[in-house]
Structure 1
Amino acid sequence: MSYVVKQGMIDRFGERELVQLTDRANKPPTTIDDDVLDEAMSDAADLIDGYLAKLYTLPLTVVPGILTRMAADIARYYLHGKSADKDGAVHRAYQEAMTWLKDVAAGRIQLEAEGVLPEQSGGGSVRAKASDRVFTRDSLKDA
């Protein structure tokens, strides 16, 4: 399941950037290569699913907006590849998305989505029985 679509990527990052990142056939780049973009978006979705699968039933019936943003940032990072500047905005957005995903997986952040119900604990009661007393008033009377 893809969490972001082509138009969402265009809206967030602009057509010009996506043309430059995806068009590897034309010099200079002129069009968005849908196959390259789809692969980056699919890779981002696979990564996200890996973090969500433990807590949520996939595919999600409703995709929260923040998840779409995180998927877009991850896909953009994948499109930049090795050219993503470690001090730049693309890398920072990717790191923020990864930190956020780790927090979701750890249960520190909860998505507004249908989740897998946690297993219920036993719920039984505890019973204890004290043993008979070894020393009583009567047993110590002659001592």
Structure 2
Amino acid sequence: MIYATVAAMVARFGELEIVQLTDRDNIPPSVVDVARVETKLADASAFVDGYVGQVYQLPLLGCAKPDGAGGVSYVPPPVLERICCDLARYYLHDDLAPENEVYRRYKGALRELDAVASGQAMLACPWGGSPGVPLSADAQSGGGDTYHQFSSRSITDDSMRGFA
């Protein structure tokens, strides 16, 4: 699932910034390089999946958002759309100083993803419901009620006879 669109990037950061980040030719009229933005959004979505996939089955189902006509459409959780936009914006920049706002937002997005992956935060749908199916705890993650039963060993002088 791609968590954000080019339109979401333009709405959040303005068309001028997205044009400046993507138009490599700088020949008027300058326009948003949609393919470049979509590539960075796909990269960011894959990165997000690396964290979210530790907690939810992928692909996420999405949040059921009422469409106003009595139906629903499934959309990414709003927090993931924002995080994906912040990551894609960071990816579109070639060179950033650590004190730059874009870099700070990138680091903030990483902290939020860490919190989701570790179970300290959860994804929520503002319209109710769950954005996906939580993974059940398994033996590898150390959670859940996993029990193993092993047969008892019976090592005696007689059973060890013949081994040197």
Name the TM-score, length of structure 1 as normaliser.
Answer: 0.79
**Map of 1:5 onto structure 2:** 5
Question: Does the 8 Å CA contact 1:10/1:18 hold for their aligned counterparts?
Answer: yes
**Partner letter of residue 122 of structure 2?**
Q
Q: Secondary structure of the residue that 1:96 maps to in structure 2?
A: helix
**Structure with a larger share of its residues in strand:** 2
Deviation at 1:110, TM superposition (A): 1.3
Question: Does the 8 Å CA contact 2:79/2:123 hold for their aligned counterparts?
Answer: no
Q: Deviations over 1:38-68 (max 9, x none)?
A: 1110110011011111211111111211111
**Partners of 2:30 and 2:6 in 1: how far apart?**
16
Q: Secondary structure of the residue that 2:38 maps to in structure 1?
A: helix
Structure 2 residue 49 is matched with structure 1 residue 30: no
**Partner letter of residue 121 of structure 1?**
D
Superposition map of 1:1-143 within 5 A = 1-27=1-27, 30-62=30-62, 63-82=76-95, 84-112=96-124, 113-114=131-132, 115-119=134-138, 120-122=144-146
Count residues in correspondence: 123
**Partner letter of residue 64 of structure 1?**
P
Deviation at 1:88, TM superposition (A): 1.5
Q: Deviations over 1:104-140 (max 9, x none)?
A: 111111113221222441479xxxxxxxxxxxxxxxx
Name the TM-score, length of structure 2 as normaliser.
Answer: 0.69
**Partners of 1:88 and 1:122 in 2: how far apart?**
47
- Computed over aligned residues only, the root mean square deviation of the Cα atoms, in angstroms, reads 1.8
**Structure with a larger share of its residues in helix:** 1
**Partners of 1:79 and 1:42 in 2: how far apart?**
12
Structure 1 alignment gaps of length 5 or more: 125-143
**Partner letter of residue 102 of structure 1?**
D
**Partners of 2:104 and 2:115 in 1: how far apart?**
16
**Partners of 1:51 and 1:7 in 2: how far apart?**
24
